[in-house]
Amino acid sequence: MEITNTVVMLTGGARIGQEVALSLAKEGASGFLLTYLNSQSVMEALAAQLIDLGAKTLVQKVNTVIETEVNQAVDLAIAHFGRIDILVNMASTYIARKAESLKLADWLDDYNNNATNTFLCMNKVAPIMRKQGQGRIINFVDWTAASRRTEYPGYDAYYAAKQAVIGLTEAFALEYAPEVLINSIAPGPIIPPVSLSPELVLQAAAKTPLKRWGGSVEIAKAVEFFIRTNFVTGECLRVDGGRHLV
């Protein structure tokens, strides 16, 4: 599918998602629904950049774990743009929780913010894309889940939720073929978290076979690949500089 004149729905993405949106606008995407929960100023600044590139934008506060809010946002985009061609599910949380003190409420919070939200967005948008005759959905997981590596202690519920998204991607890809192609991306060391010390940033790069952090542009390239391909669906692509190999 060509990117020119497409309408994109992007959930979350206050960090890496900015590069994804800008790259798609530069490739000709003409409309964007940008959703956020806590990053209004970031999304509004991104919208201004997209407008400068010639794209129309909607910026909407959406709690993607609440079905009615997801449905209302999608309906708003359909009313405004007439269609949604590309859905990029990036909304996520990453909270350390020790296993011995993990409570049901913690589990549900992690699972909802990393898996249920993806399901709700896909469940609303995929039928619309099928009716349109085509569409692309790209979900985001984690290199640890894609590699079945519980690399970092304290992220049990997060890890399980991202595994669930891989399963959802495969199942929905089968259900919605051939009109809608659905894939997932599993980032590795892309952008260092702001809380990471300079020493740990260097250590992470050293542990990666390519000896560096990838940068958001590598994720944007992967998203563009999954949009343009017409014969890949149900796949999970690790963009991790070979981190899963060591």
C-beta of residue 57 within 8 angstroms of C-beta of residue 50 = yes
Q: How confident is the model at residue 154 (pLDDT cuts 50, 70, 90)?
A: confident
Check whether 161 has a pLDDT greater than 90. yes
pLDDT at 128 over 90: yes
CATH of segment(s) 7-245: 3.40.50.720
Find out whether 68 and 43 touch, Cβ atoms under 8 Å: no
pLDDT at position 210: 96
Q: Quick: pLDDT tens for 228-237.
A: 999 999 999 9
CA distance 5 to 83: 11
Question: In the structure, what pLDDT confidence band is assigned to residue 117 with cuts at 50, 70 and 90?
Answer: very high
Q: If you average pLDDT over residues 190-218, what whole number do you get?
A: 92
* pTM over the 0.85 mark: yes
Exposure string (b/e) for 142-166, b if CB count within 10 Å is 16 or more? bbbbbbeeeeeeebbbbbbbbbbbb
pLDDT at 7: 98
Q: Enter the tokens of residue 55.
A: 């794209």
Tell me: pLDDT of 98 over 90. no
Where do the structural domains in the chain lie, given as residue ranges?
Answer: 7-245
Return the pLDDT at 186: 97
Is a pLDDT exceeding 90 seen at residue 153? no
pLDDT tens by residue, 12-32: 988 899 999 999 999 999 999
